[in-house]
Structure 1
Amino acid sequence: MEDHANLQQFKAEFFKALAHPMRIRILEVLCDGEKSVNELQTILGSEGSAVSQQLSVLRAKNLVNTVKEGTTVVYSLRDPLIKDLLAVARQIFDNHLVESISLLKGIRKS
């Protein structure tokens, strides 16, 4: 029973790490390959402190790897399955969107 509790705790912590739009966006960007903090800031169009704060959470939850190259820190996904998880989340979103559009079309016809 303890294994189930440990697994549930891991999942809860894992999903907490995903519970911020910028962290999800960072992970989506890293799906395309490793990036430095400056590259992430540019892509996200966000200030350094906000990006660094979210990267810190992702590091603490072991969702990203870091490698120091001179004075630059480069981030990458720790587990390539994160890319699959984000793709499945997108599919679920698309399914909900299709259902909502169908529902709205049905309301219009009434």
Structure 2
Amino acid sequence: MSAPLYQLKADFFKTLGHPVRIRVLELLSQREHAVAEMLPEVGIEAAHLSQQLAVLRRANLVATRKEGSTVYYRLTSPQVAELLTVARTILSGVLAGQAELLQDLRATNPTLTTSPPGPS
């Protein structure tokens, strides 16, 4: 018996649920990259980046090609880039709504400050 579609979707989103993986997919949305090109952009050690790339490969979200000793990564589908764009749009709307709510709260209660209280 195969897993229900909602379980497969949940597993898919779990794969996306790591900031490094999202950053890698954002970079690959622009163009293919060699591992060495991605390292300074993601700010982690090479071994950790390799682990995250392996997760994305297993999920079939990225593919590789080798040129000499250099391995290049690319998205397997442009729809991955579209998904990231949709996520950005959703988050922008959520954050805009939160900013409006905060502005309304400040208008009704001027004692609210922009910074949280410090340690006691």
Whether TM exceeds 0.5 here: the answer is yes
Question: Which residues of structure 1 form unaligned runs of 5+?
Answer: none
| Residue 30 (structure 1) aligned to one of 23, 28, 31 | 28
Match of 1:41, as an amino acid? L
- 1:5-84 aligned at under 5 Å gives the runs 5=4, 7-84=5-82
Give the secondary structure class of the aligned counterpart of 2:96. helix
For normalisation by structure 2, the TM-score amounts to: 0.84
Instruction: Among all aligned residue pairs of Structure 1 and Structure 2, give the percentage whose two residues are the same amino acid.
Output: 46
CA contact (8 A) 1:13 1:61 kept: no
Give the superposition deviation at 1:98: 0.6
CA contact (8 A) 1:35 1:75 kept: yes
Once residues 32 and 26 of structure 1 are traced to their aligned partners in structure 2, the CA distance between those partners, rounded to angstroms, is 10
Q: How many residues align?
A: 108
Find the structure with the greater CA-based Rg.
Answer: 2
Give the superposition deviation at 1:94: 0.4
Give the superposition deviation at 1:48: 0.4
Give the superposition deviation at 1:77: 0.3
| Residue 86 (structure 1) aligned to one of 84, 87, 90 | 84
Once residues 76 and 8 of structure 2 are traced to their aligned partners in structure 1, the CA distance between those partners, rounded to angstroms, is 15
Match of 1:45, as an amino acid? G
Give the superposition deviation at 1:45: 2.4
Give the superposition deviation at 1:43: 1.9
For normalisation by structure 1, the TM-score amounts to: 0.91
Structure having the higher helix fraction is: 1
| Deviating 4+ runs (over 6 angstroms) | none
Once residues 102 and 108 of structure 1 are traced to their aligned partners in structure 2, the CA distance between those partners, rounded to angstroms, is 10
